[in-house]
Structure 1
């Protein structure tokens, strides 16, 4: 038998197991999962999608060529946009529509310094003419003094103090403070020279720490901080008997999905680093019970496959970064760890086993939520604090439910509940509710001027509520056997357009409109533009539904 890896598809039988309730660790703040789908109760209405505005399915080599072409013309693009001589553009991503429109996402530097909040998306038609520019900031950088009075060591000390005040442990700077130009929420919109320090170690619940702290390089004032670790044949625990993509090498099989970018699933075996690739002699994984280490591996591997297939089949996106490269899943993190998270650094999703190590956080919606944090990082990259952070979390919630509905798994049917399988509270209730987010006791149903001061996992409720209303509409209804009753801020009804259309609108806005500073008002503008491009202008039922759903959560008004 050949020693070269051979793709395998595997299935296995689910065994029922009775698991008692357990006391959940405080919140699972790093894993908010929610979103929606079209239902038989509420069929989609309105016009058909404009296929020309849908993203083209690009091979990794085609995407690389588009990036190369964009790289060769950054100087000309900067001139066209009226940037100063010291400003340079750096290509982050390129998305091409079927009608030839190209959306190039840039980061910016000034005098060699990274400009945080200076990113933009530039749309050009097939002739190369600029047709639209979405900027994170409109501030002018010409003439900015890049001098600093504060020493890097002082900035590092401040960042370490911020981490310790969050009860982080094993804190240390994971990189030297770097000087940057800060354009996010500055006084009068003026640029500020600052230091960005990243602190490693562990958060108070054992989650890896990547705390970013921004320090004014002139005054020493702390300007902002945010956390970059986003707390996201198998006999699975949650999805029954499923088919998995595996590979064979000699007489051994591994959880390596060669059909999906070589995504691999590892066993951390209650550790917090390292891990071993799941390997076995029989190509059958798990037995449906948490006591079998392979069971959680099968769930995570399956969830990753479903998410890959959803983004590729529905949105034409070839992997998290659209480059055909699969991420990594890691299960059995820590001991009694009730969380899951995404890290850009390892390009991986990591899952704990819950209280008592009895309920691994590896359900479909959790896996999709964590992988979507990677998609967001590669596209809109909304900064993980204040209103942009709420939108970042909501995006993972939205596509988590969209993946769940799209999967059509009879053991885990699509719903608008958050983490309903993992029982994180220990009392059988979901972590969150999309039709009325405030049912969890903390999430926001509607926008207010204080929304940016609320933890991002709770301010995400505004966008989650919007998306539910856009998908299903307001009032009482039953979807896949689950009862919902969604209110509106203005006490006016909303008619849904179905999750398929709603998800296409959100995806287009995420990949072509959103940026690091996008707030709720800007999200409304971006989704309205996306609806117009996809469904034919402001008179379409879809455009009006977007406007009505935002008004129903107190963002903007009805047309």
Structure 2
């Protein structure tokens, strides 16, 4: 859990000249109650002054929130102004851990030197220029505020943020924000201020039963688009367009929408798992979740993630071995490749590739447990739902005993790196099962150990937190199994303390799969 320390806006003046000591100057605005908050803001501001900003005029940082996480690290979120004007895109976060190490997140250090402070025309003229961007029914109402536009990483410039009020083409109210260059009159960007409430549709899926899915109201019905989570996402594919009554699919492959329901539900649940369990804002960490394409190819027996489109693609299966590959754990698996690509970037070959695949299996499994769906209960078998005809024991991989597939490795050896990444993943999958459930769990299958030891599990929640922190904080693109042991031990130490039950369980589980 993250602890948010309430804060009033705290203004810290940064002067382009006259203040050379790198000491933040507190303006007349109140810092807010609480010495803890004030101290965190002061430390963060000092780091900003000393490292990140080349100030070309009077600037001001406003501390919007101070957050302390479970590790004791503090995160101070700042907004930025220039000569009293809001800087769009100027917000950033300063992170300080308990050892005094400071890092910056989404820090826009774009120099504002040279930005003009005087507009070449007034707000009324800017409103007229902005109207060219309005495509709906405009009402006789607008406002214009002078700002500094530093969005999208483009060169900062003085601009008017004009808000035009009216109606969109489907009758939805509109508050169109248009950025007009205050020197040239050119339109620099625009966005809609009215965020339409998503509709909630009924989905009849192939694998998860009847589920609620977030959709979007459009002319003529509804589309499989969720606008409520992060930057939003959608599902598309052959036969997937709009639906008149917002009831999708019939639970069988005779309706093309059924597989789309599974894919859409899968991205929805995976997004919620990462957000609610790990505080992750989308798959990319910045609100983005990608999108789905279903019904790919002809009798295609696979699903895949592509970084180039930041999207998931699902085949329909050949109908002999596989049905559509849109099961929940497969969706969680594919989306987790996106998480890995934005964090450790584990190279997809050798031992690092095995860790990449195992990470997707681990979180695909945890997503399945998180959904708590009676039609597809959580387990440690990957892809058990997509076989046809379905029978007990079907699976792509078996985390509790990877060698059951006849190809995957239960235990590490010097030859593991030469295996296909889907099979070298067995070592980490086996480790995770032992860490979470143990070698002889009260429920669930027993798991053999490579050293004959008995391992006691610490539960899925703790094991998942440890793997997530190891992935996002300690692992790098070339991490191999020995380094993964170190990474997870460091994560366990951060979260639970060195020598804790969790820390010792991590060590024991790695030893049990011959990673020492």
TM over 0.5: yes
Q: Which residue of 1 aligns with 2:212?
A: 243
Pairs within 5 Å for 1:543-558? 543-556=503-516
Alignment correspondent of 1:419: 383
Pair 1:297 & 2:260 matched = yes
Contact 2:436 2:457 in 1 (8 A): yes
What is the CA-CA distance between 1:423 and the residue it aligns to? Answer: 1.1
- 1:123–1:440: structure 2 CA closer, same or farther, 3 Å change rule? farther
Does the alignment pair 1:129 with 2:94? Answer: no
Q: 2:366 and 2:512 mapped to 1: Cα distance?
A: 21
* Residue number among 272, 284, 299 corresponding to 1:336 in the alignment: 299
* 2:367 paired residue number: 403
- RMSD, aligned α-carbons: 2.9
Whole-Å separation in 1 of the counterparts to 2:503 and 2:389: 38
Question: Which of the residues 427, 430, 439 maps onto 2:395?
Answer: 430
Could you list the runs of 5+ residues in structure 2 that have no partner in the other structure? 6-43, 53-66, 76-93, 104-201
CA drift of 1:96 comes to: 8.6
Candidates 68, 82, 100, aligned match of 2:73 = 100
- Change in 2 beyond 3 A, CA 1:343/1:430: same
1:470 corresponds to:
435
CA contact (8 A) 1:246 1:256 kept: yes
Is the 1:437–1:465 Cα contact (8 Å) retained in structure 2? yes
Per-residue CA distance 1:75-100 (angstroms, 9 max, x = gap)? 969xxxxxxxxxxxxxxxxx994533
CA distance in 2, matches of 1:320, 1:234: 23
Given the alignment of the two structures, is residue 531 of structure 1 paired with residue 492 of structure 2, yes or no? yes
Question: What is the aligned partner in structure 2 of residue 42 from structure 1?
Answer: none
Query: Which residue in the other structure is 1:518 paired with?
Result: 479
| CA-CA distance at 1:243 after TM superposition | 0.2
Report what 1:66 is aligned to. Answer: none
Whole-angstrom distance in 1 between the partners of 2:409 and 2:402? 6
Greater radius of gyration (CA) = 2
Pairing partner for 1:541 from 497, 501, 516: 501
Give the Cα separation in 2 of the matches to 1:284 and 1:407.
21
Give the aligned partner of residue 283 of structure 1: 246
Whole-Å separation in 2 of the counterparts to 1:97 and 1:343: 32
Give the 3-state SS of the residue equivalent to 2:235 in structure 1: strand
Task: Show the counterpart of 2:309.
Answer: 346
> Equivalents in 2 of 1:455, 1:360: separation in Å?
24
Alignment match, 2:415: 450
Deviations along 1:42-99, one digit per CA (max 9) or x if unpaired, are: xxxxxxxxx57x999xxxxxxxxxxxx99x98x969xxxxxxxxxxxxxxxxx99453
Aligned residues: 344
Q: Quick one: distance in 2 between partners of 1:512 and 1:384? A: 19
Which position in structure 1 is the counterpart of 2:405?
440
**Equivalents in 1 of 2:482, 2:102: separation in Å?**
24
> Which position in structure 2 is the counterpart of 1:214?
none
When residues 531 and 123 of structure 1 are mapped into structure 2, their CA distance, relative to the original with a 3 A threshold, is: farther
Residue in 2 aligned with 1:504?
A: 465
Normalising by the residue count of structure 2, what TM-score does the alignment of the two structures yield? 0.62
Aligned to 1:178: none
* Matches of 2:451 and 2:375, distance apart in 1: 37
Aligned-pair CA distance for 1:525: 0.2
TM-score (norm 1): 0.58
The alpha-carbon deviation at position 128 of structure 1 amounts to 5.4
Alignment of 1:168-247 (within 5 A): 233-247=202-216
**CA offsets 1:420-460 (integer angstroms, 9 cap, x no match):** 00017987611111110000000000100111111110000
Matched, 1:369 2:333: yes
8 Å Cα contact 1:368-1:403 kept in structure 2: yes
* Contact 2:435–2:457 (CA under 8 A) maintained in structure 1: yes
Render the CA deviation track for 1:89-145: whole Å, top value 9, x for unaligned: xxxxxx99453357xxxxxxxxxxxxxxxxxxx9853785369xxxxxxxxxxxxxx
**C-alpha distance in structure 2 between counterparts of 1:432 and 1:493, whole Å:** 23
Shift of 1:250: 3.0
Q: Aligned with 2:446: secondary structure?
A: strand
Q: Of the candidates 298, 319, 323, which is equivalent to residue 282 of structure 2?
A: 319
Q: 4+ residue runs of structure 1 moved beyond 6 angstroms?
A: 424-427
